[in-house]
Structure 1
Amino acid sequence: MLPVDLPGTVRDALLAPLVDHHCHGVRRDDLNRARFELLISEGGNPAPPGTTHFDTPFGAAVRRWCAPLLGLEPHAPPAVYLTRRAELGAGEVNRRLLTGAGVVAFLVDATPDETGDLDVLSAAEMGRHGGAAADEIVRIEHIERDVAETAELTADYLDTLEEELTARAARAVGLKTVIGSLSGLDVDPVPPATGAVIAAANRRLADPKGPLTDPVLLQHLLWSAVEVARERGLPVQFHSGFGGSLEPHRTDPVRLSAFVRALQPAGVPVILLHCYPFHRQAAYLAGVFPHVYVDVGLALPHTAAASARVMDELLELAPYHKQLFSSGCRGVAESGYLGALYFRRALGAALGARLGAGEWSAADAARIAHMIGSGNARRVYRL
């Protein structure tokens, strides 16, 4: 998988077990072709008639790299690959691919998808299938939805929301928000006024099962989570850039700069997830703010053969102690395996280029590979 001319110490560092600091549970059931193709596309929509999501960088990578783990030749045709997947069964496929990723700890956002689908592996099950430790990342919007559906009065809603955030954080290693997909990342640098929050809560309880879109309530939820994170010493993940059907102009992490600056005195680590194609902007934020961290996550397996260029661009400016590995694994175990594989390949190519140019020593390259692959996550999440 790695450049052949890398020193042995650097190869060992790249192949060392990783901490996957952001992933989701994968499906526990057998999938037909239509469902599988939906899950390998970040847009979540079927391919146009007469086409297939296997004709993407990610789809080609599945056939090239995942097929051998299922006992097939590289580049197996899609129909052959899916037939073999069905023969082995979801449990065995998940075990082979998650174990093959070489992950020592999964940090799992176990939130059900937008349809409430619960047929995915829990954090503990991800760990068992992958032969690794596992901890939970709590998505704050999921907590709010649970509270809204059960609260009857505004006071109950606001009090219970605070209590649930605190209780769930006590069992987690980090918090996460998808506010970028709900209202953009223009987060106010101060919490909203109490009166505005009460009025927004009244509106929310009039339609508790709908998606949370009220900007005042989103701001209140986020600032409440920040306070819990500060008290417990937890980081907060922000989904930005690539992933799902997010609007790119709304998820540029630079839009967070005022909020990030306001958080600096509190010392709450801010982690920008999947920043592509804004990874250079995210690298800038990580370079100027001491509490900001970045990854390019699922952009690497989805750019596949071009992933080395993405990694190289992140390394241009982001401090090496501020970068993390995540697979962004979701839905199918192939995403976890390919996330780890392309991370190692991309970082290996970038390290090799710097070694070849005489910029780094082999000891430097090995140390940085360990930091990004696992050391930084262990420190930030206090693993």
Structure 2
Amino acid sequence: MNLSALQSLIQTHPLIDNHAHNILTRDAACKYSKYPFEQIISEAQGPALHNAPSSLPLYRAAEQLAALYHCSSDWDHVKAARDEWVQRDYDGLIRRCLQGTHTLLLDDLLTDQDIESYDWHDRFTASSTKRIVRIEVLAAQTIAAVMRDDTRAEGDRAVVRDRWDSFCQGFERRVSEAITDPAVVGFKSVICYRTGLNVQPTEDDDDTPLLESFARTVNQGQGSAYRVEDKRLNDWVVRQTLNLLQSAKAANASAPNKPLQLHTGLGDNDIDLVLANPAHLQSLIAQFPGVDFVLLHSSYPYTREAGYLACVYPNVYLDLGEVFPMVSRDAQESILRESLEIVPTTRLLWSTDGHFFPETFYLANKQFRDVMETVFVDYVHKGDFTVDRAKQAAADILFHNSNRAYSLNERLTFEVSTFAVSTQPSTATLDAFMRGNPDVKYIWMQFIDYTNTTRVRMFPVAEFAKIVQKQRRIGICSCLQLMLQDDSITPEGSVTGQFYMEPDLATLRRNVGFDTKSATVMTYWKTEEGEPLDGCPRTALQRVTKQLREHDIEVTCGFEIEVMFLKPITNAEGETDYVPAVKNHSWSQMTSDTRKMVPLLEEIVDTLTSIGIPPEQFHSESAAGQFEFVLPPGSPIAAVDTLLKARQVVTCIAEQHGLRATLHPRPFTHAAGSASHAHVSISPPTKEDPFLAGVMRHYPSLIAFTLAQDTSYDRVQSGLWAGSEWVAWGTQNRETPIRKISPGHWELKTLDGLANMYLAMAAFLSAGYMGVQDNLPLTVKDCTHDPAKLSPQDRQSLGITTQLPKSVSQSLDALESDTALHSVIGETIVQNYISVKRMESKRLHDMDAEVRRKWLIERY
């Protein structure tokens, strides 16, 4: 009994929201005096709404929204956190709230004020938004058009008859146009609110009462908006719509099906609760067998009555929306169970009735998925459902039933296995990702070359699925291993041969921080035969991690992003230059300038958290415009993957604010530089001495990978808390290249954002591995001072005898002669890397210093 597969499907399957309304514009999103936020969980209005904060649905919503906003569940704190997110990134909030929504069917005639257009919502869903046309509004618009054209004073029956005939023609034209409009997939009546569901199913022989009803509606609306709320006229509007729908279907059986939705049950105090019972519709449903009826909102509290109709009439569907999140958890479970008592699972539809606030969509979808999981798992345990039948029922309710009922012809963005457990773990991973992110249309396959340049190939999801299923391969010219940032190739390079990218789906994350429906995935490099390529940086890190594991050592890594936010300006020569985004700034202080950056910093943190990278802390650093984000730890490869994704997010969000986020190690000589410190822990720590001894022995060589360009060495100087100038380590000493924090836990300080971090960490771990393998004694002792400021005799007594290289040339020389390190990292990687770095260094040296500075800022 694989319940996890059922639970995963319920929580991640894309959904079609078959009834919702438009979202408020950003300007109106926090106008709580006009749109009380408490209405997300209550149909109450006015004074009655004041009681909502003491209701169980609101308590539950507050907890769930607090988790969404990362704040306390106090209602005032929830609203304050919401206000901040709306102002900072309204689109991001909406995208989060609509996650998993494939298609929206919007009744966009609820209001014409303060809302976004129906097609504006397309940016947040996998498929284009469709319209549900509210027929009472069409009728009111038709009356308004008739009265604009008829300037006669109020008159006799003949005048009323003329106006009625014009109204009938106009209404028929509007409905018929909507029937043929491909953007319209259904109709909606709110007659439940206006005059009740006891709709007269047939016409009277005498139309006098109908004409009188029409005349009253016209007279009541003179000088103001017309509102159709007189029973005879309201009944006629519903019947006439049904007549037109049934006739259109009879004339063309292959035409798209366009159901009529009816509000039933739960509503505000405009509703006559007795007349909100869908049982009143039975005669009407029988009268129009050619039209599908959708009974909205679970018909609560008349769910069983609606279920009976959906069971005995083939043209009735029961919608399960609105009660989520309007009623308590127990009530929601009861409603779903009552719906399943006799209703076929192929006749149940899902909707949020989301409106105005994006959170109404979020809460409805979350609570429905949770309740469905509880109920369906219970039925499986009791033997009423098999797992496979439960999965199919869940998929039908969430997606397929609405797809069929409204003739949407939607295809799931990605469907490898038909809701079965995949035999291919990678396929299952992609399947789950796409269910949770159905709006993602493109996948970026990324790979990092030896210059730490991110290279990208982009694929539609369907093509990427073929790569995952090994139906096609993506070849990259082998010369990439000897390529510079400008695509030039070292003399050793050749355009002959290629390797192949294999996606690592564990790294699949959506792209955020800019307007895109894409996701990124990191890759391994494979040979023609599918074996690991010797030159692959990720493979090198994977291999040495495995070798340490064979010595019963587990490694955990975590990174700090130090970044400077720069503002592009035009200098006197008309060229672009960069200056710090703020000036009044210092380490871990909150100055007036720093406070201006807080919205940007919080946007970055919130965005990272939304994709599963919650920073552990963030603060200002020493240089003007410089900040640090501390990322969560993980295995070596996972930690590097996280670092690269986080940098992408920081860069993209900064761009949205007109800033450049640079990793340049020292863009301004008068200020401290930026590192990318790594924390490395080994477990158990009992082998920390030989591990650290290996690092000390090979440090001048591994620095070729951690300080990858000459400008990197400008930062590593005595007195800058950057590791100073000697191969040494010290407990909590920031003037040694290795700061010991606790047993088996070190911070690597001579490391910055220009390094290919896979190679840098592979080199560091390789050195430690050799120390463990050879059981090296630790001859360099704990240093508690800046080694550069010690006397030669004091350094000698601590075993500090080797200076750090002063340039990339010196570190490459050390690497070239360190054949022992080659054997662990990989000979191919070392030789290719040295070749690339020597040519890169020459290119950069040939540049003017200022040109070189800007060139690096623009690339890193």
TM-score by length of 1: 0.90
Provide the rounded CA distance (Å) in 2 between the counterparts of 1:316 and 1:90.
Answer: 45
Could you list the per-position Cα deviations for residues 173-211 of structure 1 after superposition, in whole angstroms to 9, with x for gaps in the alignment?
A: 000001111111111221344733444333433333343
Worse-matched range after superposition: 145-154 or 365-374 = 145-154
Aligned counterpart in structure 1 of residue 135 of structure 2, from 135, 140, 164: 140
Provide the rounded CA distance (Å) in 2 between the counterparts of 1:176 and 1:193.
Answer: 27
Q: Is the 8 A contact 1:53 1:59 kept in 2?
A: yes
Q: Is the 8 A contact 2:108 2:118 kept in 1?
A: yes
2:3 aligns to what? 6
Partner of 1:212, secondary structure, is: coil
Aligned counterpart in structure 2 of residue 149 of structure 1, from 138, 144, 147: 144
| Higher share of residues assigned helix | 1
Partner amino acid for 1:141? E
Alpha-carbon offset, residue 374 of structure 1? 0.8
Larger Rg: 2
Q: Is the 8 A contact 1:308 1:345 kept in 2?
A: no
Structure-to-structure mapping, 1:205-224, within 5 angstroms: 205-208=218-221, 209-224=225-240
Q: Is the 8 A contact 1:94 1:333 kept in 2?
A: no
Aligned counterpart in structure 2 of residue 371 of structure 1, from 396, 401, 410: 396
Structure-to-structure mapping, 1:1-383, within 5 angstroms: 6-28=3-25, 29-34=28-33, 35-37=35-37, 39-40=39-40, 41-47=42-48, 53-70=52-69, 72-73=70-71, 75-89=72-86, 92-93=89-90, 95-101=92-98, 102-113=100-111, 117-130=112-125, 132-151=127-146, 152=150, 153-171=163-181, 172-193=184-205, 195-196=207-208, 197-208=210-221, 209-230=225-246, 231=248, 233-245=257-269, 246-264=271-289, 267-274=290-297, 275-306=299-330, 307-383=332-408
Provide the rounded CA distance (Å) in 1 between the counterparts of 2:398 and 2:142.
Answer: 36
Provide the rounded CA distance (Å) in 2 between the counterparts of 1:296 and 1:13.
Answer: 15
Partner amino acid for 2:357? V
Partner of 2:354, secondary structure, is: coil
Q: Is the 8 A contact 1:270 1:291 kept in 2?
A: yes
Partner of 1:249, secondary structure, is: helix
Partner amino acid for 1:179? I
Could you list the per-position Cα deviations for residues 116-148 of structure 1 after superposition, in whole angstroms to 9, with x for gaps in the alignment?
A: x51112221223245553100000000011111
Q: Is the 8 A contact 2:217 2:229 kept in 1?
A: no
Measured at CA, do residues 99 and 228 of structure 1 come closer, stay the same or move farther in structure 2, by a change above 3 Å?
A: farther
Q: Is the 8 A contact 1:135 1:173 kept in 2?
A: yes
Alpha-carbon offset, residue 46 of structure 1? 3.8
Provide the rounded CA distance (Å) in 1 between the counterparts of 2:88 and 2:346.
Answer: 36
Provide the rounded CA distance (Å) in 1 between the counterparts of 2:361 and 2:134.
Answer: 20
Measured at CA, do residues 94 and 39 of structure 1 come closer, stay the same or move farther in structure 2, by a change above 3 Å?
A: farther
Partner amino acid for 1:347? M
Could you list the per-position Cα deviations for residues 200-240 of structure 1 after superposition, in whole angstroms to 9, with x for gaps in the alignment?
A: 33343333334322222112211111123221531000100
Partner amino acid for 2:54? D
Could you list the per-position Cα deviations for residues 27-57 of structure 1 after superposition, in whole angstroms to 9, with x for gaps in the alignment?
A: 2123245433353331222457xx5523223
Alpha-carbon offset, residue 76 of structure 1? 2.1
Q: Is the 8 A contact 2:10 2:373 kept in 1?
A: no
Partner of 1:176, secondary structure, is: strand
Q: Is the 8 A contact 2:200 2:284 kept in 1?
A: yes
Partner amino acid for 1:255? H
Gapped runs of 5+ residues in structure 1?
A: none
Q: Is the 8 A contact 1:241 1:277 kept in 2?
A: yes
Provide the rounded CA distance (Å) in 1 between the counterparts of 2:123 and 2:206.
Answer: 45
Alpha-carbon offset, residue 262 of structure 1? 1.1
Measured at CA, do residues 301 and 380 of structure 1 come closer, stay the same or move farther in structure 2, by a change above 3 Å?
A: same
2:826 aligns to what? none
| Higher share of residues assigned strand | 2
Provide the rounded CA distance (Å) in 2 between the counterparts of 1:47 and 1:322.
Answer: 35
Q: Is the 8 A contact 1:13 1:369 kept in 2?
A: yes
Alpha-carbon offset, residue 164 of structure 1? 1.1
Alpha-carbon offset, residue 310 of structure 1? 1.7
Q: Is the 8 A contact 1:10 1:369 kept in 2?
A: no
Identity, % of aligned positions: 23
Alpha-carbon offset, residue 288 of structure 1? 0.6
Provide the rounded CA distance (Å) in 2 between the counterparts of 1:308 and 1:214.
Answer: 37
Provide the rounded CA distance (Å) in 2 between the counterparts of 1:169 and 1:91.
Answer: 40
Provide the rounded CA distance (Å) in 2 between the counterparts of 1:234 and 1:341.
Answer: 28
Q: Is the 8 A contact 2:260 2:291 kept in 1?
A: yes
Provide the rounded CA distance (Å) in 2 between the counterparts of 1:107 and 1:282.
Answer: 21
Provide the rounded CA distance (Å) in 1 between the counterparts of 2:262 and 2:10.
Answer: 28
Alpha-carbon offset, residue 14 of structure 1? 4.2
Q: State the 4+ residue runs in structure 1 displaced beyond 6 angstroms.
A: none
Measured at CA, do residues 31 and 109 of structure 1 come closer, stay the same or move farther in structure 2, by a change above 3 Å?
A: same
Worse-matched range after superposition: 138-147 or 331-340 = 331-340
Alpha-carbon offset, residue 92 of structure 1? 3.2
Provide the rounded CA distance (Å) in 2 between the counterparts of 1:129 and 1:199.
Answer: 47
Measured at CA, do residues 95 and 313 of structure 1 come closer, stay the same or move farther in structure 2, by a change above 3 Å?
A: farther
Alpha-carbon offset, residue 8 of structure 1? 1.2
Q: Is the 8 A contact 1:33 1:82 kept in 2?
A: no
Partner amino acid for 2:20? C
Provide the rounded CA distance (Å) in 2 between the counterparts of 1:257 and 1:92.
Answer: 47
Partner of 2:342, secondary structure, is: coil
Provide the rounded CA distance (Å) in 2 between the counterparts of 1:345 and 1:108.
Answer: 24
Q: Is the 8 A contact 1:243 1:298 kept in 2?
A: no
Measured at CA, do residues 112 and 361 of structure 1 come closer, stay the same or move farther in structure 2, by a change above 3 Å?
A: closer
Q: Is the 8 A contact 2:144 2:226 kept in 1?
A: no
Provide the rounded CA distance (Å) in 1 between the counterparts of 2:262 and 2:31.
Answer: 32
Q: Is the 8 A contact 1:14 1:369 kept in 2?
A: no
2:849 aligns to what? none
